[in-house]
């Protein structure tokens, strides 16, 4: 009877294991419309693969992250991404990297990565960082002040930010769990969409005066 029970458990595992590991691949762009024939396709979920025999060390190499980037812009920061678009060896490996430079009072404003979790390491300066949970969790804010050597994780898809609260420029490096994580800036997406969202929708959503909404749309207009 004991052997029969073990056999039953093994049989159940054998039947259910394929279901637990079978899933759709993670998307590598915002959408991928299915087509009936390859002739109708114009893009794929990822990149076509180079013949492995033709690969070289340069396919897996990127140089320059030691260099500071200019931060003379509206938000006072600059993100340098190393992803599948400039490091082709990352294709299918599910990881990428960024360097973020922050001027004094600069910030990487609230945004999301729809396809990646992010882990951030402070290399220089002091940052205030945080993320906000989803509606079902009550939109709780998780925030910390980070100094050199400190690490913080931003869960996939959640709105998060970093702000330089020190008296000197700051630098951070972050790894993301996708070769092409994507980024959705909250302010410029909502108020700078193309075409623009009907101002009446934003007036009601944000409980703002119509003139304020129009001013914001003009400010973020692409």
Contacts of residue 29, defined as CB under 8 A and 6 or more positions apart, other chains included, come to 43, 45, 180, 182
Whether 145 and 205 map to the same domain: the answer is no
Q: What global pTM score does this model have?
A: 0.84
Asked whether residue 3 is domain-assigned, the answer is no
Whether 101 and 199 map to the same domain: the answer is no
- What are φ and ψ of residue 21, in 5° steps? -100, -10
- Is-contact 87 62, C-beta < 8 A? yes
Which residue is it, tokens 């007036």? Answer: 203
Q: Which residues are annotated as a binding site?
A: 108, 111, 113, 118, 160
Burial 189-206 (b: 16+ CB within 10 A, else e): ebbbeeebeebeebbeee
Q: What pLDDT score was predicted for residue 47?
A: 79
Asked whether residue 12 is domain-assigned, the answer is no
Whether 106 and 215 map to the same domain: the answer is no
Asked whether residue 5 is domain-assigned, the answer is no
Task: Write the pLDDT tens digit of every residue in 151-207.
Answer: 999 999 999 999 999 999 999 999 999 999 999 999 999 999 999 999 999 999 999
Task: Write the pLDDT tens digit of every residue in 183-193.
Answer: 999 999 999 99
Share of the chain above pLDDT 70, in %: 82
Rounded to an integer, the average pLDDT of 25-50 is 69
Q: Which residues are annotated as a binding site for Mn(2+)?
A: 111, 113, 118, 160
Q: Which residues are annotated as a binding site for oxalate?
A: 108, 113, 118
Mean pLDDT, all residues of the chain = 88
How open is the CA angle 27-28-32, to the nearest 5 degrees? 65
Rounded to an integer, the average pLDDT of 40-53 is 74
Task: Write the pLDDT tens digit of every residue in 118-139.
Answer: 999 999 999 999 999 999 999 9
What domain range includes position 56?
Answer: 24-182
Helix, strand, or coil here: 160? strand
Asked whether residue 18 is domain-assigned, the answer is no
Q: What pLDDT score was predicted for residue 93?
A: 87
Asked whether residue 1 is domain-assigned, the answer is no
Helix, strand, coil percentages (3-state) for the chain, rounded to 5, are 25, 25, 45
Q: How far apart are CA 13 and CA 33, in angstroms?
A: 35
Whether 167 and 201 map to the same domain: the answer is no
């Amino acid at each position: 009877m004991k052997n029969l029970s073990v056999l039953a458990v093994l049989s159940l595992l054998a039947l259910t294991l394929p279901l637990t590991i079978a899933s759709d691949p993670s998307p590598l762009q915002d959408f991928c419309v299915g087509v009936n024939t390859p002739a109708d396709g114009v893009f794929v979920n990822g990149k076509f693969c180079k013949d492995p025999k033709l690969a070289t060390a340069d396919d897996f190499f990127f140089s320059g992250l030691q260099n500071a980037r200019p931060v003379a812009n509206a938000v006072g920061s600059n993100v340098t991404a190393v992803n599948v678009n400039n490091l082709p060896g990352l294709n299918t490996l599910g990881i990428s990297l960024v360097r973020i430079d922050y001027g004094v009072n600069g910030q990487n404003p609230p945004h999301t990565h729809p396809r990646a979790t992010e882990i951030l390491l402070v290399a220089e300066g002091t940052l205030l960082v945080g993320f906000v949970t989803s509606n079902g969790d009550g939109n709780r804010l998780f925030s910390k002040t980070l100094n050199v050597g400190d690490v913080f994780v931003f869960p996939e898809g959640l709105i998060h930010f970093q702000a330089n609260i020190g008296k000197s420029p700051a630098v951070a490096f972050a790894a993301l769990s996708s070769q092409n994580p994507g980024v959705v800036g909250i302010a410029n997406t909502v108020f700078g969409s193309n075409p623009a969202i009907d101002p009446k929708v934003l007036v009601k959503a944000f409980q703002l005066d119509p003139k304020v909404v129009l001013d914001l749309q003009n400010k973020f207009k692409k």
